[in-house]
Every structure is written in structure tokens, then in C-alpha cells.
Chains A and B, each alone.
Chain A
Amino acid sequence: MLSRTASDLYWMSRYLERAENLARMLDVSYSLSLMPQDGRGDGLNEIAMPLLITGTLDDYLERHGDLHAERLLHFFALDAENPASIFSCLGAARASAHAVRGRITADMWENINATYLEIRGIAEQGLSRYGMSRFCEWVKERSHLFRGATYGTIMRNDAFRFIRLGTFIERADNTLRMLDARYEMLELRGPSANAAADSSAAGYYQWSALLRALSSFEAYTEVYRDAPGARQVAELLLLRADIPRSLRACLEELDIILASLPGANGRPAQRLAAELDARLRYTGIDEILDEGLHEWLNEFIPLLAQLGSVIHTSYLEAA
């Protein structure tokens, strides 16, 4: 497959996955902002959280000065001028799909094109008229639909593999960042994220909102039959292979996909993915907590970035 084609397929699915994850972040923050708050009580800290996670808060402050709920939401969701907004991600995903529309099925192309046409309509209406929760649901649903169209129609060839590569690398990164952000939020409130703090009402809402945002709430209750707490949430989202959005599940997929790609030039990427996968496989949650969850996460996030960059040099800029 052409390296450029592979690159467009990879970025198409990365941007789409990113849009979905941004909507998940937004969803959890928005619903928490509606809860009775400590401190200022206006929920602005919560609403600003997605910008903090994605590192776009400075851009926002530069453009808009102070924190303002409606402007924050618009900036994050629909602002075409913000390259990290959901709108821009869907636009970028669609532009990549457009470039390789010959290599994806008509079902996939029409789906992603329709998504783009629809979000332009939503942007015209404005978020408050469309409805915040409805918007987040809509983004997730479009992403689900595209994935369904992909799984249901595309040939199981390298195109399919590069599409999935993009999905899982983006998803792994997102799970780590969202977990880290929630943990930090609780750290700020209580002395530590120990079991006692977890059982507080604030802890309950923070963790359950995160689990819901990552579609893992049902899995959590089934596995632990317990109120959500830091240790178990971290174990679920980092180490369990049977949770589709967990780090471990993403790395397992990445390892398998990379191993099945042809060409000797892929070795550095294959090796790194296998190493990371093995590391997770043989790590227990206590080790992670001993090191400190925040420290551990911030060690792993750059490793994922490194994996992304060797995928680039191995395949997407090859020959």
C-alpha cells in the first residue's frame, strides 16, 4: 500500500477516534459541572477540564480572556478556528477520507461525509440550541456508525490494519489522559486517593462519571460489585484485557496489528509495541500505585507517543 494512503487512513481513524474521545470528555465534564460544586460553585473548573486535558486552555485564554461556560463549550466543540475542536477533528478525518476515498468503501465514505455535512449544520444552529448531551451522544453515535460500516464492509487488508492502528493508538492515549485528569481532580480535593477518599460522594461521582464516559461503568460493577475507587478503576482501565477502552486492550490490538503488517521496515514499531504489551501483561496494580498513579501514567504517555512516531517512520513515511 502507498505510504501516503496508509498515512491518510491512519489519520482518518485517529481523528475520528479523537473526536469521539473529546465528546466523551466533554460529556463527563458537562454532567459533573451540573452537580453541586465545592468552591466557586459555577462548574467552570469542570468545564475547563477538557481543555486542560487536551492542552488547549492557553489557546482559549488567549482568544477569549476569561472562563465563560458557553464560550468554553463552543471553543471545545464547534469552533472551526480551534484546530483541536471536535468540529476540526471531524473535518480533518473527513479530509483524510476524501484523499483516500478510492481505498475505503462507499459506505464508509458516505458515512463520514454525512457526519461532516451534519456537524456543519449543527455548528450553524449553535450548541445551546442543539443541546449539549445530545451533541455528545451524536458524535459518539457517528463514530460507532463509522466503525460499524468499516467492520461490516472493508476488506481485511492493510487498509483495514492501518485504520485500526490509528484507532487504538489514539484510544490508548485518551484513556491514560482521562484517568490522570480525574485522579488529579480528586488529589486536589482530598489528601490522597485512598479508599476513604474514594468512598466520599465527590469520589463516587468523579469515578463513575469517568467510567460512564469510557463506557465501562457496567463492566466495573460486574467485575467488582463495589462502589468505584481509584485502585479498582485504575486496574480496570489500565490492566484488564477484556475492557475495550483499557490501555492493555489497546496495546494488545496494536501488537497484533503491527505483527501482521508486511515489510522489514516495520521492526522498530513491532518491537516497541510488543515490549509495551509485555510490560502491561506482567504488571500488577500495586506496582503502579506504589510508584504513584500520576507518575506511572506520565511515564507511559510519552511511550505511546514514541510508538506513534516509530509507526510514522516505519510505514507512513517509508521508501
Chain B
Amino acid sequence: MIRTFYDEMYDAGGVVRPHYREFARWLGEAPPELLAQRRREADLLFHRAGITFTLYGDEQGTERLIPFDTIPRSIPASEWRVVERGCIQRVKALNMFLADLYHDQRIIKAGIIPAEQVLANEQYQLAMQGLNLHRDLYSHISGVDLVRDGDGTYYVLEDNLRTPSGVSYMLEDRKMMMRLFPELFAAQRIAPIDHYPNLLLDTLKSSSPLDNPSVVVLTPGRFNSAFFEHAFLAREMGVELVEGADLFVRDDRVFMRTTDGPKAVDVIYRRLDDAFLDPLAFNPDSMLGVPGLLAAYRSGNVVLANAIGTGVADDKSVYPFVTDMIRFYLDEEPILKNVPTWQCRKPEELSHVLANLGDLVVKETQGSGGYGMLVGPASTAAEIESFRARLKAKPHAYIAQPTLCLSTCPTFVENGIAPRHIDLRPFVLAGRETRVVPGGLTRVALREGSLVVNSSQGGGTKDTWVVED
């Protein structure tokens, strides 16, 4: 089967797209030695700064660099405005869905989403039922993963409403590009993104009814794969980075242990999954959480961002209904498309999936990080057969989608520059208002032909430009 890919830099005729012209001219004139030297410099700087992540399953806890590619992903401003509106629309609807789900459940009563689809979902948290949250916000920080198909249309691949990560790479990639190639930023107008931590702090503060709440970032600890990001954001916002053991609950109020005695905490930007938050309420073996946190939360004495129980809205089995949510809650047509999705729990859709496994991408509804998925066209017959068995055994745990022809962007590889597949994760902040900094994190699959961009699977990142056209 011949696939046609949408390339971000070149059109089908091989001509440079207008918003890349300035960059392409610069790239053509830059001596290859200079580019190679700057790439080495970038590696060194990232290493020195310790901008690393840890791979799960790596016993040594080795810190690795995420490969950084110096060719930016560029988006024309007019195109970005549509993406931005689409992301905001989507996150608004998802927040309304969560508020509805944990209160009146109008959407279930209206027959738009089957009750068992959400109420029997592992991510649905009974503890949230009937609890009122300030501004009715559940997902304060969301990551919307976007890809482009062969004709350049943007599709939402998934929503991330639990603890989306990667924003530190977005910011560090930009810093690195400005340090290595300042001339590029003088030659054209590229929308700035450095104010993200400011917006984040503002969002977190506005999630509390208090005037000047005390905000902390809660990390699972220095061995977590995203610890760098947690420390980075705490530092940039000027708030404390705490671990579970630094907090305690007394009389349904949360305090942190300081050298000057206990200090009250009002807002927790938690980068810890629901299950680990409170050993008294969830996983009793969790050493990472804070005993009594849920009780304090339910008393309204502390804000968790994101709220508990948002996972039910970004679950892959709920994903197919998001476009309907937008119509139901906002009475608007969805600006961004969903990827067509077969739900394997439905027998007629399962049989279609089983008959076409070689052409489809099959994902676990609960999975993330690119683990436990099948990319049909890239798999061997044996891999497909073993996956078929798993699928038949637990059909409700899977969805399937057509293999998208993810767009490509020129990327430095072993021998020169070659197109590699990319995606895009804009970060949406919902507080007093809903905002997105221009661009987002672009991840690139560095292996030739690979469609998996996750850093745990050998993906890299690129700076993402929104260029005034």
C-alpha cells in the first residue's frame, strides 16, 4: 500500500511552504559543520543542565536525555488559531462532562453515553460524586495530542487530563533554540511561550476561592521519570516542590513540614496519580501520598489540580464520545476531528477489527506512554497473531483506529536530513479563563517509518513555532 504523508516543510510538489521559507533559506546557507557543532553543543548543554528523564523498567534508574532535534516544527499563525480554538473548545466540553458526570449525569440520561461506559470505568471515582469544585473545574491542566493525516487535517489522537507532562521540554527546547540560533528569531516573528509558568501559577491560584492561596507542586520523588519537570515548574513558579512525606493532614487541613513549623497548603498541583494520593482512601500500599488528603479535599479545604477522577474523561473508551459532548454541552460543532475509532467491546466492531488487524492501530483503553499497543502495518505476522489472542480474551480493554499517515517534518538523522513522523501536544490551562500558549510540544519518532513518538520508545522533541504569516 502506498501512503502519502503530509510534510510540514514541503508541499506535494517539493516546494517549501511559505511559513518555512525563512528557515529553509537559513538552513541552505548554514555550513554543515556549524550545524553539527551546534547540535553537539545542544547535547552538552542539555546534559549539563540535567534535562533528563528516567525510563521505567530500567533497574539502574539511568537518567537519559530526550533527543532534541534542531529543525523546528513550524505552524502558520492562521492555522494555529483554529487549533487553539479547537483545543479550548474540547477542554471546556470535557470539564463540563466531568462536572455533569459527578453530579446530575444529564448526558447519560439523554442517552448520549451509555451508563456502563463511564460508571463501570475504573477511572470513575465514587468519592467525587456530588462534590462541588470551585469554578466547576476538574482538568486545570490538559494536554491534547494532535496528529495530521495525509491531507494535513488535524485530528485529536487523545486527551490527557490526569497529569500530562512534557511542558518543560517545550520550554527548554525554545530556550535552547534561542541560545543556539538567535538569528532565526530576529528574522521572523515567532510567538513567545516563556510565560507558561506564569499562566500556570495564575491558573492554579484561580482554582482556589482564596485571594492568595499557598500553592505547592506534589511530586512522587526524584526517581520519577518526570522529576525534572516537577522541579522545573516549581522553580519557575517560585513555589515549594513537595513529596507526600512533606505534607500531613490535621483537622481536615493540609500542612507542610517546614524548618519553621507547619505551614498551611491551599492548592496542590499534583503530579501523582489518583491511586497514590491518599493511602487511607486509595492504594493502601502507597508510600507517595498523604494520609487523610481525600478527607481534606472533600471538606473543600484544599484544591487538587487536576481533580481526582478526571481519568474517566480521557479514557480511550470514552474518547469516541468527545465530539458528541461538544455538541451536547456547548451546542457547537467540534472544531477538531476525532480519529475514527472502533470500540472492541461491541461485537460487530470487534469482528471488523479482527478482520483488519494488519491495517489498524490497536490500543489499550487504559494504556499510555506507547506501551501495550499494536501498530498493524509495522508488525510481523507473529506479533499480530499474539495480539489477536489478547484482543479476543479482553475485547473491552481495547480500541482500534486506522493507521494514520502522521505528518512528517525534516529531521537530522545519521546521514543528513530526512522526514520523520511527528505529533503535537498543546497544553491547555483552565482557570478564570481557558488559555493555551502558542504551539506546544512536538514529539518526533526518530526511527525511520516509526509512528510512535513517545520518549520511552525512542522519540525525540523539536521546538514548535507559531509563525506570524
Q: A and B bound?
A: yes
Of the 9-residue stretches B141-149, B228-236, B344-352, B426-434, which lies at the interface with chain A? B228-236
**Contact A6 to B222, CB < 8 A, known contacts A102-B231, A110-B49, A113-B48:** no
Give every chain A residue within 8 A of B243 (Cβ-Cβ): 4
Residues of A within 8 A of B257 (CB): 2-4, 318-319
Interface assignment of B242: CB less than 8 Å from any CB of chain A: yes
Evaluate whether A99 and B259 lie within 8 angstroms (CB atoms) in the complex, with A4-B243, A110-B49 already known. Answer: no
CB of A319 within 8 A of CB of B255, answer yes
Q: Is the beta-carbon distance between B50 and A2 smaller than 8 angstroms?
A: no
| Residue A201 is within 8 A (CB to CB) of chain B in the complex | no
CB contacts (< 8 Å) of B414 on chain A: these are: none
Q: How many residues of chain A are within 8 Å of chain B by beta carbon?
A: 30
Interface positions of A (Cβ within 8 A of B): 1-6, 95, 98-103, 106, 109-110, 113-114, 117, 158, 162, 261-263, 265-266, 315-316, 318-319
Residue of A nearest to B257 (CB): A319
Q: A2 and B256: CB pair below 8 A? A: yes
Q: Which residue of B lies closest to A8 (CB)?
A: B222
**Contact (Cβ within 8 A) A95 B222:** yes
Contacting pair A113 B49 (CB below 8 A): yes
Distance of A178 Cα from B414 Cα, bound (Å): 54
Report B236-294 residues with CB < 8 Å from chain A CB. 240-243, 245-246, 248, 255-262
B135 on the A face (CB < 8 A) = no
Residue of B nearest to A113 (CB): B50
Q: In the complex, which residues of chain A have a beta carbon less than 8 angstroms from the beta carbon of B246? A: 2-4
Would A106 and B259 count as touching, CB distance under 8 A?
no
Task: Using known A-B contacts A2-B246, A318-B257, determine if residue A99 contacts B222 with beta carbons closer than 8 Å.
Answer: yes
CA distance A265 to B227 in the complex (A): 31
Within the complex, what minimum Cβ distance (angstroms) separates B173 from chain A?
16
Q: How many residues of B contact A (CB 8 A)?
A: 26
Q: In whole angstroms, how far apart are the Cα atoms of A2 and B244 in the complex? A: 12
Chain A residue nearest to B256 in the complex (CB): A2
Residues of A within 8 A of B222 (CB): 95, 98-99
Q: Which residues of A contact B261 (CB under 8 A)?
A: 263, 265, 318-319
Residue B47 lies at the interface, judged by CB distance under 8 Å to chain A: yes
Residues of A with C-beta under 8 A to B227: 98
Residues of B within 8 A of A (CB): 47-50, 222, 227-228, 231-232, 234-235, 240-243, 245-246, 248, 255-262
**Total A-B pairs in contact (CB under 8 Å)?**
77
* B249 CB, nearest partner CB in chain A, Å: 13
Minimum CB–CB distance from B264 to chain A (whole Å) comes to: 12
Residues of B within 8 Å of A98, CB to CB, are: 50, 222, 227
Q: Which residues of A contact B241 (CB under 8 A)?
A: 5, 100, 102-103
10 interchain pairs, CB-CB under 8 A: A6-B259, A98-B227, A110-B49, A261-B259, A265-B261, A266-B259, A318-B257, A318-B258, A318-B259, A319-B255
Report chain B residues within 8 Å CB of A1: 258-260
In the complex with contacts A95-B222, A98-B222, A102-B241, A3-B48 CB distance below 8 A: no
Residue from A99, A102, A103, A263 within 8 A of B232 (CB atoms): A102
Q: Are A2 and B48 in contact (CB under 8 A)?
A: no
Q: With a CB–CB cut-off of 8 A, which chain A residues contact B258?
A: 1-3, 318-319
Among B48, B248, B255, which residue has its beta carbon within 8 angstroms of that of A117?
B48
Residues from chain B with Cβ under 8 Å of A316 in the complex = 259
A5 and B49 within 8 A (CB): no
Which residues of B sit under 8 angstroms from A102, Cβ to Cβ?
A: 231-232, 234-235, 241
CA distance A276 to B245 in the complex (A): 34
B245's nearest neighbour on chain A, judged by CB, is: A4
Q: Which residue of B lies closest to A161 (CB)?
A: B259
Using Cβ atoms and an 8 Å threshold, which residues of chain A touch B235?
101-103
- Rounded to whole angstroms, the CA-CA distance of A282 and B82 in the bound complex is 77
User: Min CB distance, A243 to chain B, in Å?
Assistant: 30
